[in-house]
Structure formats: structure tokens, C-alpha cells
Amino acid sequence: MSKHIAIGVDIGGTGIKAAPVNLKTGEFADERYRIPTPQPSTPDAVARTVAKVISRFEPGRKTAIGVAFPGVVQHGVVKTAANVDDAWIGTNLRDIIRDYAGHDVYVINDADAAGVGEATFGAAKGVDGVVLMTTLGTGIGTALVVDGEVVPNLEMGHILVDGQDAETLAADSARERLGLDWDGWSRNLQKYYSEMERLLWPDMIVVGGGVSKKSHMFLPKLALRAPIVPAKLLNGAGIVGAAAHAHHHDLRDRAAAKAAAKKAEKKAKKKGQ
């Protein structure tokens, strides 16, 4: 696999999706592959499926792989699991995927991955100031992109709106579960995004998730201060962002390992003199 290609994997509440991504263009280098998320979505079942989607693309030893997860991921460890099995909490995501896939991976929250994707190749690219990335899917994912950098693990999908967890009213799954038409769902979205604006004052709001390809059905109904636009990468933002995140960290780790090896060599030479 060329060194400009990394694999991105996006673990969702309903599907596990992956594709190789061309990091020069942000485009998929092959067709996306999706397997439904196993139910119950326990760590072993999910990790086995992630390994399966990764192996489909036959990564080389040096191919960087990024995995996006739908919960807080702090230093590789899962801290919350709103829309996947609770058994994930406390699990080292990086270790378990490596065990099943036989390949090192870099891990990141799914909304943060979407933020990286949109900041690098999409609607948030080159935007001055603060961009609020949101993903409307099984849950609501949020990321703040500040001058191209993502502030990790912002869990603003769980703020209270009308006394309820916002994602139970305004996620795409809520639209389906509550049987809302576009007008009804847009009213919930309006409340949610107005609250976001009151708290965060973004310069731009980006909407991702599967429903973003139908954004013409609800975005024109919203009245907000900041421009609100669909993710340019649509539902692929998480895959692209996970791949870009992995590529970036892989380069950084390789450079650090090289520098450390050089230093050790110098020290050994000095000792030998």
C-alpha cells in the first residue's frame, strides 16, 4: 500500500465502516466496506469485526490505521459507551484491536475524527476561528475545531435540552424512534443548536452523520447566528479523519523513534571511545 494511503475505520452504533484513504486528496482509494455492528456490541465482538474490515484492505506492515470509536477515548482507553455495550468502559481500545487485527492502530473518538476529516479536507478547512463539528447518527457527536486543531472528547451531545439528554431528542435515531417528520425533528434541532450557540459561539457549524446527505430537508429550517453547513465528506468524515489522525501520529512516532535511535547510537559511540 502506498505511503500516502492510510486505513480509516469508523465504529458506529449500527455499522462498522472502513476504507483506505488517499491522504493527499482526502478521497477513498477503494470502495468503502461496511459490516453491521454486532449486537451485543461487546469489545470482543466489535474488535473481531474491526479486524475483519481491516483485513479486507490487506494493509502492509507500515500502513497506518486509525479507528474511530463512539465514546470518550482518553489515552487509548474507552471511558464512556453511550451507544455500544457498557463492557467497553475501561477497555484499552488500542490493545484490543491490535490483538485481533495483528496490526498497531491509532484510536480517536468518532466525532473528533469527523472534525479532523472536515478540518483537513472538508467544510472546516481553512476556516478562521471556531468550528463546531456535529454528527447526527445513533448519538450526537461533537468536536470543536479551533484554527484547524481539534479539542478532544467534547461531549456536547449530552447537554440537557428540555430537561433531557439532547441526543435522545435531536440525534437521527431520535427522529426515527419518535417518528418525527422533518419539521418536527428540525424543531428539536433548533433548540439543540441554539443552546450550542449560546454556550460556544462558533463561527461555523458543520453537520455530519448519515443524515447529512439529506441536509436540504432540515438545514434550511434552522435559524442560527452562525452558518450551518453539511459535512463536505458527508458520512465519510469519520473514516477520513481516523485515517488522517493515524497518518499524522504514525509520522510523528516514526520521527521520534528515529531521533531516539540516533541519540542512543551517539551515546554508544561516545562510550566506546
The C-alpha torsion from 116 through 20 and 83 to 183, rounded to 10°, is 70
Q: Does 208 interact with ligand BGC (rule: CB under 6 A)?
A: no
- Beta carbon of residue 21, minimum distance to ligand BGC (angstroms, whole number): 20
Which region among 25-33, 115-123, 133-141, 219-227 touches ligand BGC (by CB under 6 A)?
133-141
- Beta carbon of residue 217, minimum distance to ligand BGC (angstroms, whole number): 21
The answer to whether the bond into 20 is cis (omega within 30° of 0) is no
Q: Does 83 interact with ligand BGC (rule: CB under 6 A)?
A: yes
CB atoms within 10 A of CB 155: 18
Residues 6+ apart with CB under 8 A from 240: 8, 21, 26, 28, 117, 120, 121, 122, 233
Q: Does 109 interact with ligand BGC (rule: CB under 6 A)?
A: yes
Q: Does 115 interact with ligand BGC (rule: CB under 6 A)?
A: no
Tell me the C-alpha distance between 213 and 75, whole Å. Answer: 32
- Beta carbon of residue 254, minimum distance to ligand BGC (angstroms, whole number): 29
Which residue from 122, 157, 202, 236 is in contact with ligand BGC, where contact means CB under 6 A?
Answer: 157
Which residue from 26, 117, 141, 241 is in contact with ligand BGC, where contact means CB under 6 A?
Answer: 141
Tell me the C-alpha distance between 135 and 210, whole Å. Answer: 8
- Fill in the DSSP letter of residue 92: B
Enumerate binding residues for ligand BGC (CB under 6 A).
70-72, 80, 82-83, 109-111, 135, 137, 139, 141, 155, 157, 167
